[in-house]
Amino acid sequence: MSVEITIANAVKKYGDNTIIGDLSLTIREGEFFTLLGPSGCGKTTLLRMIAGFNSIEGGEFFFNEKLINDIDPSRRNIGMVFQNYAIFPHLTVEQNVAFGLKNRKCDKETITRETEKFLRLMQIEEYRNRLPERLSGGQQQRVALARALVISPDVLLMDEPLSNLDAKLRVEMRSVIKDVQNSLGITTVYVTHDQEEAMAISDRIAVMNKGEIQQIGTPKALYQRPKNLFVATFIGHTNILKGTLSGGQGKQILALPDGYSVELGNVREKTEAPRDVLISVRPEEFTISEKSGEPGIQGTVDSSIFLGLNTHYRVKLSSGEKIEIIQESTIDSIIPTGTDIVLQVKKEKINVLSEDGGSNLLEGVQDDTAEA
């Protein structure tokens, strides 16, 4: 059985230090939910609170309607996978996988059947008689995953499970984890500080900073309409420029550098008097023109790197600021360093943020934080 996890007003303190203050969220049944944020923001702390390993100073934790605050971790029916594998070094692969079932005093037939099923599912049958020390990091993590899943947990909790693997294996193991989670439909909470990994693997992501949730949404929603500057810069790459928003005759005009302006139809917080704002534009959302005299932001190509499908440009603006631009490579040309260019932005792709970066002024920001 898979469960919905509800966290209501969770508080965690170490002494006088509040690590998590009044945090609420709902993790839907069967979803792959990721806690993403910089080191020290409280992701592991929150995961351990769900597992029951941490004392809590406030709040309620539910698996479906059942309050679990006072239920011992061993009785919460959770599977856990950590960064450092946590498999028993003195047991073979098969014994490691069977461990949870033996511990639960399952009958022999069940132990054999389920152990075989997960050895097969994780493709580690051929190593069944090996000790962990004779396995690669990726193989060890497969064993850890099989061992966590064999007990049919209601919830799977994973804390940076791929951090110890090299880059190529990390990417490979993402799909292994995602596929197995998908096929079992198990509610999964995953902790990482790697935004690309979070984007690749999650149904929804909660972006955390300093013990608080900044925004909850699908990877696409966070990327396209970040709620604030923190999310805009933490998820993917972006360029932040200064602009001025002003109104007139029902229109909102965004003035950008060099007299370039665009009209926006999706401003939520409309203004008449000019208001200083920040704009966030992803590197792939500019168009480059080499014709001078066109309306746009003026710049000079500072460097260009050809990466096959895409070419990455660093462009120096007339203000002296440097921004990153990614263009699909075309057969005919890479724009050489030193070329004067004009940049235009695809206006539906612009995000307009308040000057302090605290909020997105546009419509269509998804934030499921309030769901709980």
Ligand X SMILES: Nc1ncnc2c1ncn2[C@@H]1O[C@H](COP(=O)(O)OP(=O)(O)OP(=O)(O)O)[C@@H](O)[C@H]1O
Asked if 39 is part of the footprint of ligand X (rule: CB under 6 A), the reply reads yes
Q: Report the C-alpha gap between 370 and 372 in whole angstroms.
A: 5
Asked if 43 is part of the footprint of ligand X (rule: CB under 6 A), the reply reads yes
Q: Are strands 261-264 and 322-328 parallel, antiparallel or unpaired?
A: unpaired
Write down the least CB distance from residue 41 to ligand X, Å. 4
Helix (H) or strand (E) holding 263: strand 261-264
Q: Of 1, 9, 40, 172, which lies in the binding site for ligand X, with binding defined by CB under 6 A?
A: 40
Task: Using alpha carbons, select from 108, 102, 109, 362 the residue that is nearest to residue 232.
Answer: 362
Which tokens in the block code for residue 308? 């096959």
Report how far Cα 325 is from the mean position of its chain's Cα atoms: 23
Asked if 187 is part of the footprint of ligand X (rule: CB under 6 A), the reply reads no
- For the residues of 177-231, what is the DSSP string, one character each? HHHHHHHHT-EEEEEES-HHHHHHH-SEEEEEETTEEEEEE-HHHHHHS-SSHHH
Write down the least CB distance from residue 353 to ligand X, Å. 24
Q: Report the C-alpha gap between 290 and 296 in whole angstroms.
A: 11
Q: Of 5, 37, 227, 236, which lies in the binding site for ligand X, with binding defined by CB under 6 A?
A: 37
The 138-177 site mask, x for binding ligand X (CB under 6 A), equals ----------------------------------------
Q: Of 2, 26, 34, 45, which lies in the binding site for ligand X, with binding defined by CB under 6 A?
A: 45
Q: Report the C-alpha gap between 243 and 241 in whole angstroms.
A: 7
Write down the least CB distance from residue 159 to ligand X, Å. 8
3-state secondary structure 122-161: CCCHHHCCCCHHHCCHHHHHHHHHHHHHCCCCCEEEEECC
Q: Of 3, 7, 10, 19, which lies in the binding site for ligand X, with binding defined by CB under 6 A?
A: 19
Q: Of 193, 204, 225, 282, which lies in the binding site for ligand X, with binding defined by CB under 6 A?
A: 193
Write down the least CB distance from residue 188 to ligand X, Å. 17
Q: Which is nearer to ligand X, 193 or 225 (CB)?
A: 193
Asked if 364 is part of the footprint of ligand X (rule: CB under 6 A), the reply reads no
Write down the least CB distance from residue 179 to ligand X, Å. 25
Helix-strand-coil percent breakdown of the chain, rounded to 5?
A: 30, 35, 35
Q: Report the C-alpha gap between 178 and 81 in whole angstroms.
A: 14
Binding residues with ligand X: total (CB under 6 A): 11
Q: Residues with Cβ < 8 Å from 235, sequence gap 6 or more? A: 195, 199, 205, 207, 219, 222, 223, 226
Q: Of 42, 79, 219, 226, which lies in the binding site for ligand X, with binding defined by CB under 6 A?
A: 42
Piece of 42-50, 117-125, 149-157, 239-247 that binds ligand X (CB under 6 A):
42-50
Write down the least CB distance from residue 312 to ligand X, Å. 28
Angle at which helices 137-149 and 108-121 pack, to 10 degrees? 140
Q: Which is nearer to ligand X, 27 or 254 (CB)?
A: 27
Asked if 51 is part of the footprint of ligand X (rule: CB under 6 A), the reply reads no
Write down the least CB distance from residue 207 to ligand X, Å. 12
Asked if 41 is part of the footprint of ligand X (rule: CB under 6 A), the reply reads yes
Q: Give contact residues for ligand X (rule: CB under 6 A).
A: 14, 19, 37, 39-45, 193
